Amino acid sequence: MIKKAIIPAAGYGTRSLPITKVVPKEMFPIGVKPAIQYVVEEALDSGIEEILIVVSRTKNIIVDYFDHSQELESFLEKKNKSHLINDQSIPNVQLHYTRQPFARGLGDAVRLGETFAKGEPFAVLLPDDIVIAEETPALKQLMNIYDQTKNSVIGLNEVKREELKNYGVATGRYIAKQVVKMNDIVEKPTTDPGSNLAVIGRYIFTPTIFTYLNSIEPGVGGEYQLTDAIKCLFEKEKVYGKIVNGKRYDIGKEDEYIQLVNHYYNSTHGKQ
Ligand code: UTP
């Protein structure tokens, strides 16, 4: 059973400047809730009991958001609006935080969770990828494969060939309808990777990943790439890919962010 999850939220969000100079991408509103809350809720709905959020100096707003506000609570009490105190922002889960001193890449951010994971398998959810799944939450879909295989599982999504260059791309052999036994992964391929399976921001890892996160060198973009550590993992263990049922929205892309907000509005206001 996977009970722990790491949410890396320490990046600069350069694709979404200038707003990310002061508002972290993870705090972009979708309705009245920020993106990261949907991801925390997905983790909870999948059975996660403890979450480590990796933040940075400029992300204290995330820590504040998930905490009580004494001023607001006493203000609401005085105004006879105590019914609003039932603060929906505080999730029923044990939250931990750590700081990534420099945004040296996703691999570096996940590596900071080694003590938190305590040698157990764990999940990683990227808070800028929101997956709208009809029934089973995206992470739970990965957990179902983990329960059968006890190996690492990577969330995948079929994308158009011309878009593959923007993602980590997985290759492998189908062992079931939506399950692949992976044999390679390439970060932002510059040549045809021979697959249309892009990695989405949902992962389950065995603790072996830390061996490689501790030894990889900076890769694409001079950053410590999680993809490079996954590549090493293939040599030691089996790694599976699960094509996730659901639609993924990368909120770092303006068009997908707007589509997600529209989707949310339409679904909460009864429109198609
Ligand atoms: P992204 O690469 O999508 O986010 O990382 P970014 O680097 O913040 O944004 P761009 O690409 O410059 O626009 C995926 C997730 O990993 C976190 C980010 O905060 C994001 O949620 N991340 C990335 C870290 O925690 N640390 C890093 O060094 C890099």
Average pLDDT, the chain: 94
What's the CATH code, domain 4-268? 3.90.550.10
Contact (Cβ atoms closer than 8 angstroms) between residue 50 and residue 3? yes
pTM attached to this predicted model: 0.95
Mean pLDDT, residues 130-159: 96
Q: DSSP per residue over 163-193, as a string? A: GGGGSEEEEEEEEETTEEEEEEEEES-SS--
- What pLDDT score does 92 carry? 84
**Distance from C-alpha of 227 to C-alpha of 7, rounded to nearest angstrom:** 16
Helix then strand then coil, in percent of the chain rounded to 5, is 40, 25, 35
Task: Tell which residue, 166, 218, 223, has the closest CA to residue 189.
Answer: 166
Return the structure tokens found at 268.
């909460």
Check whether 91 has a pLDDT greater than 90: no
192 pLDDT band, cuts 50/70/90, is confident
Distance of CA 247 to the CA centre of its chain: 14
| pLDDT above 80 (res 272) | no
What pLDDT is stored for residue 242 in this prediction?
98
Tens digit of pLDDT for each residue in 194-241?
899 999 999 999 999 999 999 999 988 899 999 999 999 998 999 999
Stated as kind and residue range, the H or E segment containing 74 is: helix 70-78
Q: Is residue 191 classed as helix, strand or coil in its secondary structure?
A: coil
Name the residue with the closest Cα to ligand 1, atom 15: 126
Give me 57's structure tokens: 């100096």
Residue 122, Cα to own-chain centre: how many angstroms? 12
Q: Report whether pLDDT(271) > 80.
A: no
Q: Which of 26, 62, 106, 131 to mutate to test the pocket of ligand 1 (most atoms within 8 A of CB)?
A: 106
CA-wise closest residue to 239 among 187, 199, 188: 199
Per-domain residue ranges for the chain? 4-268
- The amino acid occupying position 220 is V
Task: Give the atom of ligand 1 at the shortest distance from the alpha carbon of 54.
Answer: 25
Cα of 7 vs centre of ligand 1, distance in Å, is 11
C-alpha dist (Å) from residue 163 to 95, 97, 102, 142, 265: 35, 34, 29, 23, 27
Dist. CA 190 → ligand 1 center (Å): 21
In this structure, the number of other CB atoms found within 10 A of the CB of residue 227 comes to 22
User: Contact, 221 vs 102, CB < 8 A?
Assistant: no
pLDDT tens per residue, range 10-30 = 999 999 999 999 999 999 999
Question: Average of pLDDT values for 51-57?
Answer: 97
Q: Ligand 1 pocket: which residues have CB below 6 Å? A: 8-16, 25-26, 54, 100, 103-106, 108-109, 126-128, 252
Closest approach atom of ligand 1 to CA 9 = 19
- Determine how many CB atoms are found less than 10 A away from the CB of residue 77: 12
- The H or E element that residue 250 is part of is strand 247-250
Which residue carries 């190996």 as its tokens?
151
Checking if the pLDDT of 244 tops 90, the result is yes
Residue 150 is classified by DSSP as -
